[in-house]
Amino acid sequence: MGLRAEMPLLARHEGEWAGRYVHVDKDGAVIDRHHVEMTCAILDDAVYHQTNRYRWDDGRTEVHEFPGTYLGGGRCGFDTERLTGQFWELDADTIYLTWRFKAEGDDLRLFELIVLSKDGGSRSRTWQWIRNGECVRRTLIDERRTA
């Protein structure tokens, strides 16, 4: 069986996405916001690959690649120079991720839910940044499929 069959919801995320990230502190104050264009792909029905292209209103840009390895049992892992973690499908609409930024150490962990709309045209993503058991930041992301 290939990755698309093992993780059918992940396969529904394949394509081009555009949206906006809003980062808020633990009290809800906005501390950053930026645009994203994202490509999600399953290569050779065996490997997940995501490219995030970020753009801030002040002209800054960043591009990050996220290659994922299928671990079996409906789970994928990723390990880049910046972060490491895993993700899996919770139900027919929701993917769960947990990861950490390597530069931040083990005391900061991130937890994300991605909910895909029934028609596959939009998705909502929420990150919780947990340091030593306390939520110190949240990231809210709304995206629309562009291709």
| Domain limits for position 94 | 3-145
Which residue in this structure is represented by tokens 């291709």? Answer: 147
Q: Find all residues with CB under 8 Å of 102, minimum gap 6, and list them.
A: 81, 82, 83, 84
Give the 3-state DSSP-derived string for the chain, with helices as H, strands as E and coil as C: CCHHHHCHHHHHCCEEEEEEEEEEECCCCEEEEEEEEEEEEEECCCEEEEEEEEECCCCCEEEEEEEEEEEECCEEEEECCCEEEEEEECCCCEEEEEEEEHHHCCCEEEEEEEEECCCCCEEEEEEEEEECCEEEEEEEEEEEECC
pLDDT per residue, tens digit, the chain (147 aa), is 899 999 999 999 999 999 999 999 999 999 999 999 999 999 999 999 999 999 999 999 999 999 999 999 999 999 999 999 999 999 999 999 999 999 999 999 999 999 999 999 999 999 999 999 999 999 999 999 999
* The total number of structural domains that make up the chain: 1
- Quote the pLDDT of residue 133: 96
State how far the alpha carbon of 84 is from the alpha carbons of 28, 68, 80, 113, in Å: 27, 10, 6, 16
CA-to-CA distance for 126 and 145, rounded, in angstroms? 17
The tokens describing 88, both together, are 């899996």
Please give the single-letter amino acid code of residue 3. Answer: L
The domain that holds 49 is classified in CATH as 2.40.128.20
- Quote the pLDDT of residue 1: 81
Whole-prediction pTM value? 0.95
